[in-house]
């Protein structure tokens, strides 16, 4: 086994796949298309068949399906790969007045595991053969006749999400079990995965992959698209159904059945992957003209007991993991990686437009059993490396011979939709106290002006602050008339500690008000 300190190396592999999502999005046209050539052979398909296929596969040894070492696709250079473009004249459903259209990604370069793409109509599935005719090759050094594969790298879906006149890309599945989506007028940001395996723990992280997709043909008036996927990995197989509804908020209902090949003690259900480089808590580490750089700036959790938690994200100097548990390990009402900064001035980046990146909220459906939310934060010096993960860790993991079903709803959209009505934490700032090595934390809460008689009776607000190490030496608060926010100040004397878990909760006249602020300070 490798030591934990080596784990970011394996994350780099996943990051490479995610980077290609960005590259691919710039390479391919978003024009309307006509259906690609289909195999003459067809098969019957439904969700039950897929679940049985995944169950049978779990009883067989895992066999990776990758491009041959001498494949011409594997030998493509970065420049050659980026010169390959999908031909806008070859797309699914564009000549059938469908409300959705499908484009394909070319295999090769870093995409060395082709996936099967099947179109389903009236319960009949047709597999799309790899066909160089649906791509244009601008680099004349590519020997097109030498390119062959048993599938494509992935696909993306278009819909008139921003205007009725144009089909825009809003959903992409590309690389391992990664996928991402946007709501209306948003830019791509964080991603989701089908499953996480051993993200935190001894040994290497395992990255399951979707080996095949079955996509139901939508009609002209459909407001949703249904996608099925077969998950495969050395430890577990799975059958997935995604029902995706794009709009002002893009909603994705996920129905996943898992079949472990081996006992798998550490898995992540509904895993989210994002990037946090810096904001006002750590800007001093980065000589950058921008005010902040991140796809998400906090983990939000709504516990089953009603407690609302906000944990600002960190870009630590060392790899770190955090668990968020309740006394009874109850399933939360929801959790997500959120982008609460949503104005241009908060970033000052006219190209990346981090202010338009989506938040992603996970709403569990059904009974997930016991477990906890887990957060992983990895050091990064660049904005092109995803370094944040969050997911639900079931107690006990998965046992061989059993079937596990997880249903949940993913909400891609604005963070404000899932914040509490009052007392939403809008900003966290920190710095060294003058004349000492103490640390000061300043926490801003929205809707402070709505608090009754706070100006006349400041004692009505109680700030409960605690730390796992060191000492809280001072707490105070004030109503900021310029913003209407309530601002809490907490001073920490860390002593000799290198790490402290901080907690701040507010009470107004003995009643909980606003979110609970959690933060891990590290030296």
Q: Structural domain boundaries of the chain?
A: 4-418, 425-522
pTM for the whole structure: 0.90
- Which pLDDT band, with edges at 50, 70 and 90, does 278 fall under? very high
CA distance 138 to 144: 11
Mean pLDDT over 419-437 rounds to 90
Residue 322, pLDDT score:
97
Report residue 96: phi and psi, to 5°.
-115, 15
Of 44 and 2, which is predicted with more confidence? 44
Mean pLDDT over 462-475 rounds to 96
Mean pLDDT over 514-522 rounds to 96
Task: Give the sign of the dihedral formed by CA 140, CA 145, CA 147, CA 151.
Answer: positive
Is the pLDDT at 21 greater than 90? The verdict is no
Residues ≥6 apart with Cβ < 8 Å to 437? 493, 494
Q: In the structure encoding, which two tokens stand for residue 238, read together?
A: 């799975």
Is the pLDDT at 302 greater than 90? The verdict is yes
Has domain 4-418 been given CATH number 3.90.1010.10? no
Share of the chain above pLDDT 70, in %: 91
Residue 201, pLDDT score:
82
- Which pLDDT band, with edges at 50, 70 and 90, does 11 fall under? very low
- Which pLDDT band, with edges at 50, 70 and 90, does 27 fall under? very low
Of 370 and 94, which is predicted with more confidence? 370
Of 241 and 97, which is predicted with more confidence? 241
- Mean of pLDDT over the chain: 90
Mean pLDDT over 186-201 rounds to 96
Residue 459, pLDDT score:
76
Is the pLDDT at 2 greater than 50? The verdict is no
| CATH value of 425-522 in 1.10.10.10, 3.30.70.1350, 3.40.720.10, 2.60.40.10 | 2.60.40.10
Mean pLDDT over 163-171 rounds to 94
Q: Are 420 and 514 in contact (CB under 8 A)?
A: yes
Residue 9, pLDDT score:
38
Is the pLDDT at 246 greater than 70? The verdict is yes
Rg, Å, the chain Cα set:
24
Residue 447, pLDDT score:
86
Domains 4-418 and 425-522 in one fold: no
Is the pLDDT at 241 greater than 80? The verdict is yes
Mean pLDDT over 490-501 rounds to 95
* Residue 334, beta-bridge partner list: 302
Is the pLDDT at 387 greater than 70? The verdict is yes
- Which pLDDT band, with edges at 50, 70 and 90, does 97 fall under? confident
Is the pLDDT at 8 greater than 80? The verdict is no
Q: Are 190 and 387 in contact (CB under 8 A)?
A: no
Of 277 and 18, which is predicted with more confidence? 277
């Amino acid at each position: 086994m490798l030591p934990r300190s080596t784990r970011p190396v394996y994350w780099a592999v996943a990051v490479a796949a995610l980077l290609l999502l960005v590259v691919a999005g710039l390479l391919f046209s978003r024009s309307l298309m006509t259906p690609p050539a289909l195999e003459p052979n067809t098969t019957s398909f439904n969700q039950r068949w897929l679940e049985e296929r995944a169950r049978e596969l779990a009883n067989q040894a895992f066999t990776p399906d990758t491009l041959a070492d001498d494949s011409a696709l594997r030998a493509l250079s970065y420049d050659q790969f980026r010169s390959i473009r999908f031909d806008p004249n070859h797309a699914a459903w564009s000549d059938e007045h469908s409300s959705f259209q499908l484009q394909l990604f070319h295999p090769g370069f870093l995409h060395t595991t082709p996936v099967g793409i099947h179109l389903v109509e009236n319960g009949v599935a047709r597999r799309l053969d790899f066909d160089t005719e649906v791509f244009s090759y601008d680099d004349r050094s590519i020997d097109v006749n030498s390119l062959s594969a048993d599938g494509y790298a992935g696909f993306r879906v278009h819909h008139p999400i921003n205007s009725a006149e144009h089909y825009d890309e809003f959903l992409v599945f590309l690389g391992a079990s990664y996928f991402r989506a946007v709501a209306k007028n948003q830019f791509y940001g964080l991603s989701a995965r089908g499953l996480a395996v051993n993200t935190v723990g001894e040994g290497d992280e395992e990255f399951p992959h979707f080996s095949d997709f079955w996509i139901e043909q939508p009609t002209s008036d459909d407001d949703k698209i249904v996608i099925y996927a077969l998950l495969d990995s050395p430890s577990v197989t799975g059958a997935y159904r995604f029902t995706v509804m794009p709009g002002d908020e893009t909603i994705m209902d996920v129905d996943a059945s898992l079949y472990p090949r081996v006992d798998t003690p550490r898995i992540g259900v509904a895993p989210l992957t994002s990037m946090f480089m810096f904001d006002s808590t750590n800007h001093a580490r980065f000589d950058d003209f921008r005010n902040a750089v991140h796809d998400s700036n906090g983990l939000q959790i709504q516990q089953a007991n009603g407690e609302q938690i906000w944990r600002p994200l960190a870009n630590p100097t060392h790899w770190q993991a955090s668990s968020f548990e309740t006394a009874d390990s109850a399933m939360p009402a929801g959790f997500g990686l959120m982008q609460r900064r949503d104005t241009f001035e908060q970033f000052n980046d006219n190209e990346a437009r981090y202010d338009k990146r989506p938040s992603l909220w996970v709403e569990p459906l059904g009974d997930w059993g016991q477990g906890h939310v887990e957060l992983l934060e990895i050091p990064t010096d660049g904005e092109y490396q995803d370094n944040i993960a969050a997911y639900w860790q079931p107690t006990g993991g998965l046992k061989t011979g059993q079937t596990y079903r997880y249903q949940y709803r993913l909400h891609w959209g604005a963070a404000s939709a899932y914040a509490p009505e009052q007392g939403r934490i809008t900003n966290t700032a920190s710095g060294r106290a003058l004349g000492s090595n103490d640390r000061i934390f300043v926490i801003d809460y929205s809707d402070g002006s709505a608090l009754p008689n706070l100006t006349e009776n400041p004692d009505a607000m109680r700030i409960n602050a605690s730390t796992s190490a060191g000492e809280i030496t001072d707490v105070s608060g004030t109503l900021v008339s310029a913003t209407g926010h309530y601002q809490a100040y907490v001073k920490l004397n860390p002593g000799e500690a290198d790490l402290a878990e901080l907690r701040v909760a507010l009470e107004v006249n003995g009643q909980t008000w606003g979110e609970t602020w959690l933060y891990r300070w590290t030296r």
